[in-house]
């Protein structure tokens, strides 16, 4: 099929495709999502097919208002209402217990819970309202590949596989939303993101579990990114843990008989001589810019077949750095550069 490009002035046309059971990628403040009517089982099945996504990997449901959540979820707790007031619209996804048979198992992975998010993007909120239905929205990429932060990234992976893309330029955050499980006895972060554990705890006044990011091979994950390989380019990524390690890492790169990609902040490039066989991709000045640019850098080198190895800068595993390191560790398969 032809993949059409829409913008903020043609949102209603994109929404008409959603209503008709088609797939339309949409922008959020984090990454681009792949949208389909969350109440249309046939449309949801197409999402898995287009992405090559495992069927037990549940989908996040994107909504334009709290009332939509209340149609499907059991009564929201006081903590949930406080978090909605504090962080919606924004990069916080929350998992709630569902009313019986509220959503199809294709959305929930067969679970009795579902993840909901109210994205902070005007064009996408207009899309949801115009379509008059909540829309599922996993990242709009081939499953396992780096998430898309530009419409062009979506087109690279899914051109001809989906009906359209709502283009709203580059995303602002660059790593997917925080996923907070509120379906159990204690709140637990299943995927770190821009909304941190400390920020959540400050709102609800109780501790949040933070080391809940993985499930076993036979378990069904409650949230994306907990079970399957994610964010990985074709090249092998090596994490450079400390600034002092860069001279040794670049000396190693210089000895390779192929080109090596280097992803780091500007200070690394200004204080180190880049070998002739290395190509640089700037992560900006700090962890905030690095989080925004991480997937773009991985995708940049994924399009250059001569790049077989990528050296990428680590950050402290706190705050937004926890989200950045979660994605980087998965893209590298936990592989760190060592002297």
Which one, of 263, 273, 260, 267, lies nearest residue 243 by Cα? 267
User: Do 15 and 127 contact (CB within 8 A), yes or no?
Assistant: yes
Q: What is the CA radius of gyration of the chain?
A: 20
Q: Does the annotation place 62 within a ligand binding site?
A: yes
Residue 169 CA to chain centroid, in angstroms?
Answer: 16
Which one, of 113, 116, 94, 73, lies nearest residue 182 by Cα? 94
Q: Does the annotation place 53 within a ligand binding site?
A: yes
Angle between helices 122-131 and 11-19 (to 10 degrees): 40
Whether residue 215 is predicted with pLDDT greater than 70 in this model: the reply is no
pLDDT at 208: 97
pLDDT at 57: 78
Sign for the pseudo-dihedral over CA of 286, 288, 291, 293 = negative
Whether residue 305 is predicted with pLDDT greater than 90 in this model: the reply is no
pLDDT at 219: 59
pLDDT at 197: 96
Whether residue 194 is predicted with pLDDT greater than 90 in this model: the reply is yes
Sorting pLDDT into bands at 50, 70 and 90, what band is 306?
Answer: confident
Q: Does the annotation place 231 within a ligand binding site?
A: yes
Partners of 97 in the beta sheet? 113
Q: Does the annotation place 242 within a ligand binding site?
A: no
Q: Does the annotation place 57 within a ligand binding site?
A: yes
Q: Does the annotation place 292 within a ligand binding site?
A: no
Whether residue 218 is predicted with pLDDT greater than 60 in this model: the reply is no
Whether residue 276 is predicted with pLDDT greater than 70 in this model: the reply is yes
Tens digits of residue pLDDT in 162-192: 999 999 999 999 999 999 999 999 999 999 9
Tally Cβ neighbours within 10 Å of residue 199.
16
Please state, rounded to an integer, the average pLDDT across all residues of the chain. Answer: 93
User: Do 72 and 177 contact (CB within 8 A), yes or no?
Assistant: no
Q: What are phi and psi of 117, to 5 degrees?
A: -145, 145
Q: What angle do CA 32, 294, 272 make, to 5 degrees?
A: 160
Domains of the chain and CATH, by start: 4-204 (3.90.870.10), 236-332 (3.40.50.11030)
Whole-structure pTM value: 0.91
Tens digits of residue pLDDT in 59-117: 999 999 999 999 999 999 999 999 999 999 999 999 999 999 999 999 998 999 999 99
Whether residue 216 is predicted with pLDDT greater than 90 in this model: the reply is no
Q: Does the annotation place 117 within a ligand binding site?
A: yes
Which one, of 22, 287, 263, 218, lies nearest residue 136 by Cα? 22
SS3 at position 326:
helix
In the chain, the N- to C-terminal Cα span, in Å, equals 49
pLDDT at 303: 82
- More confident call, 157 vs 227: 157
Measured distance CA(49)–CA(55) in Å, rounded: 9
Which one, of 114, 69, 98, 96, lies nearest residue 182 by Cα? 96
**Number of helices followed by number of strands (H, E) in the chain:** 12, 14
pLDDT at 144: 85
Q: Does the annotation place 121 within a ligand binding site?
A: no
pLDDT at 209: 95
Look up residue 75 and give its two tokens. 């009564």
- More confident call, 120 vs 214: 120
Q: Does the annotation place 139 within a ligand binding site?
A: yes
């Amino acid at each position: 099929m032809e993949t059409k490009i829409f913008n903020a002035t043609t949102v209603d046309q994109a929404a008409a495709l959603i209503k008709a059971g088609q797939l339309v990628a949409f922008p959020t403040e984090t990454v681009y999502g792949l949208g389909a009517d969350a109440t249309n089982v046939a449309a949801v099945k197409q999402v898995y097919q287009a992405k090559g996504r495992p069927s037990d990997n549940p989908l996040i449901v994107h909504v334009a208002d709290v009332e939509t959540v209340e149609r499907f979820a059991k009564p929201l707790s006081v903590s949930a209402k406080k978090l909605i007031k504090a962080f919606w619209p924004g990069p916080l996804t929350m998992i709630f217990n569902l009313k019986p048979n509220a959503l199809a198992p294709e959305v929930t992975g067969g679970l009795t819970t579902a993840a909901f998010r109210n994205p902070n993007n005007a064009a996408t909120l207009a899309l949801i309202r115009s379509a008059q239905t909540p829309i599922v929205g996993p990242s709009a990429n081939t499953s396992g590949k780096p998430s898309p932060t530009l419409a062009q990234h979506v087109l690279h992976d899914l051109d001809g596989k989906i009906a359209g893309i709502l283009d709203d330029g580059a995303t602002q955050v660059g790593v997917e939303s925080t996923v907070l499980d509120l379906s159990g006895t204690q709140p637990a972060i299943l995927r770190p993101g821009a909304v941190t554990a400390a920020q959540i705890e400050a709102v609800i006044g109780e501790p949040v579990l933070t080391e809940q990011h993985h499930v076993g091979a036979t378990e069904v994950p409650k949230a994306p990114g907990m079970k399957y390989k994610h964010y990985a380019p074709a090249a092998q990524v090596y994490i450079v843990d400390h600034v002092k390690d860069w001279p040794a890492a670049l000396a190693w790169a210089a000895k390779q008989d192929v080109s090596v990609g280097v992803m780091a902040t500007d200070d690394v490039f200004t204080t180190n001589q880049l070998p002739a066989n290395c190509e640089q991709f700037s992560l900006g000045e700090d962890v905030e810019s690095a989080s925004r640019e991480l997937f773009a850098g991985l995708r940049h080198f994924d399009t250059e077949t001569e790049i077989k190895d990528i050296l990428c800068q680590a950050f402290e595993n706190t705050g937004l750095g926890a989200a950045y390191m979660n994605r980087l560790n998965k893209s590298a398969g936990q592989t760190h550069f060592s002297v």
